[in-house]
Structure formats: structure tokens, C-alpha cells
Amino acid sequence: MAHLDDPAWVVQDEHDVRPYVVTGGRTRPRHAMRLVSLLAAGDALPAEPLAPEAEQALRLCRGGQRSVAEIAATIGQPAQVTKIILSDLIDCGALIIAVPDTASGDPASDPDNGTQLLESLLAGLHTHFSGVA
């Protein structure tokens, strides 16, 4: 039995509840995305204040196209939660799903090209973890 002096809410509980709050209890994004889907900043600005995770994701995409996996790793949220956050940003026009130009015949522009994908992922991981001591 808990004592009256024990805190009813501990910091550990925040990690369990936060994703639920960020997504508004939703479990599925409105837009279909894979972990390798690339997103870029759109032209519109959100009308409402954003959650810190959404602000961070939008800031990251303003620097160039980013994959869902890279965004999830950077904002520290599970992939499914990240997809819901990104879907909301797509709905308000702040993000767009980037479609590579495959008409150019450039194999590097094909998102299913395994080598290019792995190189991009490796570069993203190096960037993300370069500041971690």
C-alpha cells in the first residue's frame, strides 16, 4: 500500500503517458507512411501552437528532406507516434511527403534503392549521434 507521503505521480509515468497525450489517444496516422518515406517542409504554417515534438520535426524537415525513421530517432518517439505527429503536420500543410523524381532515370532518386537508402540512413545516424558524448 502506498504511503500518503509518496508522490502520486513519478517522472517514470511521464514516459508512459506522453505519447498518448501527444497523439490525442489516436493509434493510426491519417496518411500512409513507411519508415523510409521522405518528408519536407511545406509552405503553410500551423495555425495552432505545436507540441515540442512536432516543432522539432518541422524544424528538422526545414533543413531538408528527412525520413520518418530519422525524424522518430531525433524526436525520441516511437515510429507510430511519430507518424501521427507527421500526419497532423501534413494535414495543416506544414509538411509534405516528398516524391523523388524518378523520371530523370537517376538511380539515386529511387527511394527503394537499397544502397542509397542505407547511405542516407548511415549519414543521418552519424549526424544524430555526433553530438552525443
What integer pLDDT is reported at residue 48 of this predicted model?
86
| pTM for this predicted structure | 0.65
Q: How many CA atoms lie within 13 A of 90 on its CB side?
A: 19
Q: Which range in 9-18, 28-37, 103-112 is most confidently predicted, on average pLDDT?
A: 28-37
- 75 falls in which pLDDT band (50, 70, 90)? very high
Would you say residue 103 has pLDDT above 90?
Answer: no
What region does 76 belong to: left with phi over 0, alpha with psi -120 to 50, or beta? left
Beta-strand ranges (E) seen in the chain are: 38-41, 66-67, 95-97
Contact between 39 and 98 under an 8 Å Cβ cutoff? The reply is yes
- What cell numbers appear for 27 in the block? 493509434
Query: Cell numbers of 118, please?
Result: 542505407
What are the residue ranges spanned by the domains of the chain? Answer: 19-126
Average pLDDT of the segment spanning 41-68: 91
